[in-house]
Amino acid sequence: MAKDWREVKKEIEAEIDKIWLNEPEEVKKSRLGIFPSGAGVYGTYLGNLVFLNGDIAAVGYSFAQEPMLKSLSNPSFTLEQCKQLFHWFTADTCELLGGTYGEKCPAPWMNMGTLCRLYKDAVGCYDTIKTKEELKELLDSWYIYLDRLYRWIFFMFPWYVGTMFPKKELKDVEELAKLSGLRIAR
């Protein structure tokens, strides 16, 4: 039998409490370059961190939260439509971030197993949600969880890598053009 939505909400809120001041294990593993799934390109994991940063923001407040909350407050959207929208906005990304795929990927692809499990629990409790207000209560906790998780990902991202890509000044462009035998059109 499916969990009641209130139970799922409590589980999400317990995870929020757990990670509020303490780096989640999944984030720590990612920061240290530990991806048991094998995710990464050419033996590196910077791309994984880029995807974690972007995808968690996208599935959370940057992409999904605003249209979800608008649909919940719009009387022309039914509860069932709102449930379907939540699924559409989150399913693929949550599976990519935390899904496993048998022998080829025995561990959560981007280390986010807890995120994937909480998503599946949220969708799995749909039958116990009877009003848009109840769905909104559940999703309010979901988005707080995603926001906190995203803040950890954002904080640990290796922003210092950006020092390898300094901005160019006009004098730099002029010097490069001169060295290349080119003229700058003005």
Q: Which two tokens stand for residue 3?
A: 């969990």
Question: Average pLDDT of the chain?
Answer: 94
Q: How confident is the model at residue 184, as a pLDDT?
A: 83
pLDDT at 175 over 80: yes
Q: What is the mean pLDDT of residues 137-142?
A: 96
Q: How confident is the model at residue 103, as a pLDDT?
A: 86
**Listed residue (22, 175, 49) closest to 112, CA to CA:** 49
Q: How confident is the model at residue 13, as a pLDDT?
A: 98
With pLDDT > 70 as the criterion, what percentage of the chain qualifies? 99
Q: How confident is the model at residue 117, as a pLDDT?
A: 97
Cα-based torsion angle of the residue sequence 99, 140, 18, 38 in order, rounded to the nearest 10 degrees: 20
Q: What is the mean pLDDT of residues 142-158?
A: 96
- Contact present, 9 and 138 (Cβ < 8 Å): yes
Q: What is the mean pLDDT of residues 132-149?
A: 96
Global pTM?
0.89
pLDDT digits (tens, 9 = 90+) for 76-122: 999 999 999 999 999 999 999 999 988 888 899 999 999 999 999 99
For 9, list phi and psi in degrees, rounded to 5.
-60, -45
The residue with tokens 């990902």 is 153
